[in-house]
Amino acid sequence: MNCTASRNNLQLAFDIRRGQWLLYNAEALLPAALSFLNRLPVTLDMPEFNVSAYAENSDGTLCGSEPDNDTKIVTVIPIIGTITKYDSCGTVGAISIAEAISDAASNNNSIGVVLDIDSGGGSTNAIPFVVEAIRKVQAAGKPIVAHCDLCASAAYWIASQCDAVFADNDLSVFGSIGVMAQFVDDSNTPDGNHIITIYAKESPDKNLSYRKALQGDYELAQEELSPFVTAFHEAVKKSRRRLQADADGVLTGGTFLSHQAIDVGLVDDILTLENTIQNVFIRAHYN
Of these ranges, 37-46, 147-156, 173-182, 192-201, the one predicted with the greatest mean pLDDT is 147-156
Q: What is the mean pLDDT of the chain?
A: 81
pLDDT, tens digit (0-9, with 9 covering 90-100), for 17-48:
455 555 555 555 555 555 555 555 555 555 56
For 10, what's the count of Cα atoms within 13 Å in the CB-facing half-sphere? 0
* Residue 66 confidence (pLDDT): 72
162 and 276 in contact (C-beta within 8 Å)?
no
* Residue 198 confidence (pLDDT): 72
pLDDT, tens digit (0-9, with 9 covering 90-100), for 234-286:
999 999 999 999 999 999 999 999 999 999 999 999 999 999 999 999 999 98
Taking CA 224 as the corner, what is the angle to CA 219 and CA 225, rounded to the nearest 5 degrees? Answer: 100
207 and 186 in contact (C-beta within 8 Å)?
no
List the alpha helices (DSSP H) in the chain: 9-18, 30-37, 94-106, 127-139, 154-160, 208-211, 219-239, 258-263, 273-286
* Residue 1 confidence (pLDDT): 40
Of these ranges, 66-75, 87-96, 154-163, the one predicted with the greatest mean pLDDT is 154-163
Using the predicted structure, report yes or no on whether residue 3 has a pLDDT greater than 50.
Answer: no
* Residue 167 confidence (pLDDT): 98
C-alpha closest to that of 243 among 267, 217, 220: 267
The helix/strand/coil state of 60 is coil
Taking CA 166 as the corner, what is the angle to CA 163 and CA 171, rounded to the nearest 5 degrees? Answer: 155
